Amino acid sequence: GFRYYVVTDCEFNSSKLNDIEYTQSYYYNKLEYVRFSSGVGKYVGYTEHGIKNAERWNNGPEVIARRAEKERYCFHNVGIFTESALTKS
């Protein structure tokens, strides 16, 4: 069968918002076909289908909503993770 999945990731070196990289990658059959990266600030396609989706999403409301996810999703969770790790060390 075919498999579709999305991976959301927050990479960070500190709890400062500027040091956090938010990515959301879309996969089909283990092949990444499009990705949003907060470092780039837009979607980038890696396959023919991904390029078409990236163009459409970059010209619509999807890219604006995704740009806000770094602060909403990552900043909140990194703060919780950092606080938890520091209290246990």
What pLDDT is attached to residue 13?
79
Contacts of 63 (CB under 8 A, 6+ apart): 36, 42, 43, 57
Print pLDDT tens along the chain (89 aa). 789 999 999 988 776 667 889 999 999 999 999 999 999 999 999 999 999 999 999 999 999 999 999 888 888 787 777 666 667 65
What pLDDT is attached to residue 81?
72
Domains and CATH numbers, the chain: 4-88 (3.10.320.10)
Give 25-43 pLDDT, tens digit per residue: 999 999 999 999 999 999 9
Contacts of 3 (CB under 8 A, 6+ apart): 27, 28, 29, 30
Of 21, 18, 30, 24, the C-alpha closest to 6 is 24
